Amino acid sequence: MEYNNQEAEIVTEKNEERKTHGRITKTALIGIIVMTILIASLFGAVFGVMSASVVNIFSLKIGQKIGQYFPDLNLHKISPEISRQQVIVEDSAVIDVVEKASPAVVSIVISKNVPNMRNSFGSFFDPFSIDPFGGDGSGSQSDQGTQKQTVGGGSGFFIASDGYILTNRHVVEDQQADYTVVTSDGKEHAATVLARDPVRDVAVIKIEGNNFPVTALGDSDNLKIGQTVVAIGNSLGEFSNSVSRGIVSGLKRNLSAGSGFGDTERLTDIIQTDAAINPGNSGGPLLDIDGNVIGINVAVAQGAQNVGFALPINQGKRIIDQVKNGTKISVPYLGVRYISIDSSVQKEAQLPFDYGVLVLRGTKMTDLAVIPGSPADKAGIMENDIILEVDGKKITQDNQLGDMVAKFSANDVITLKVWHKGATKDIQVKLEERKN
């Protein structure tokens, strides 16, 4: 028994030595790792932005290893440095986007022949602020003919190296105006309007020339709320290639936008962003962090801060393809008049559904519920029918019938789920081109 006790004491002493050795080894390892981080940070300061991303990744990997082997170790002391490196990397990515995309962004100058109004004192008046009742309150006027003047501005971006440019329809809406494109190198080019989409606020114009820089088009269907975006455009029609940065604040927004001259249009499934978008930015690109165009800047909320909107680029791809292929821009139509159904309409009209649209005539005798000879008429849709779905997708307040049909092309065949006299059935409808 005495021998066994001595042997046990020897074993215990050896175990204590192993534990002490283990603690020394871990302490030494931690010291080596911390020294490595400090050295890496020092090299990051010396080499600057060029090595920032490498240092950041190296430091993060070391931090992960430390956390894996020593979960109780407090590393908050080095987190500010890692955060600073992350900021540098993100700023560098935005700078890369701007350098990549800016050469392809253009300013569009709108000019028009407007009357010169001169008073007896020899000064000119703003032709757009004349008193509608015939007087200006400052003296007599005489007609001095017309003069070409700049009346507005917008933005656009090259979608093909041979001069094709995408912009908003409202930028080039005036068929009596002339349009001049100013490229990033300051050169001016006369532009021709090739197509105006009558449904979406998109247009294609062209200038003569070749080898223009082109922006890459992304996929707006894959956007995520919170991701970084960059807007570039001719802010206020005066500051060309202005850059603003923000995030995607919302998706699939629907709103009615006004031009300031009484014109309104409905914008659907659009992108909301807090990147600053100002008058003149219209038609310019909204880019992701890889420099791909994911939107076309289109509107800004009046009376609000950092609330801008952009059309998803996927909405403009069809008109781009049609123009490049030399085909006519066509807009499909169904040929029904209707009211949208919600819970209140359902209750008032005692309908069996709280979604879809009720096919109904207008207030005039000539406002028929179904237009004679239209695709809907040919498919057998009748007044008081309820159209519930388009290709399996419910028609709701946020997913309206007109917007759903507009996503198709003339001659496309769609399937409508229709409630007709107490029974629900699927109806095949071949869309046709709208004539007006």
Positions marked catalytic? 170, 201, 282
Q: How far apart are CA 221 and CA 294, in angstroms?
A: 9
Write down the H helix ranges in 70-224. 79-101
Q: How far apart are CA 147 and CA 320, in angstroms?
A: 35
423: which residues sit within 8 A by CB, 6+ positions away?
none
CB 160 within 8 A of CB 148: no
Q: What is the DSSP letter of 216?
A: P
Which residue type sits at 141?
Q
Q: Is the dihedral of CA 254, 257, 263, 268 positive or negative?
A: negative
Q: Indicate the SS3 state at residue 69.
A: helix
Q: How far apart are CA 200 and CA 299, in angstroms?
A: 13
Q: How far apart are CA 30 and CA 15, in angstroms?
A: 23
Q: How far apart are CA 433 and CA 334, in angstroms?
A: 9
Q: How far apart are CA 419 and CA 281, in angstroms?
A: 45
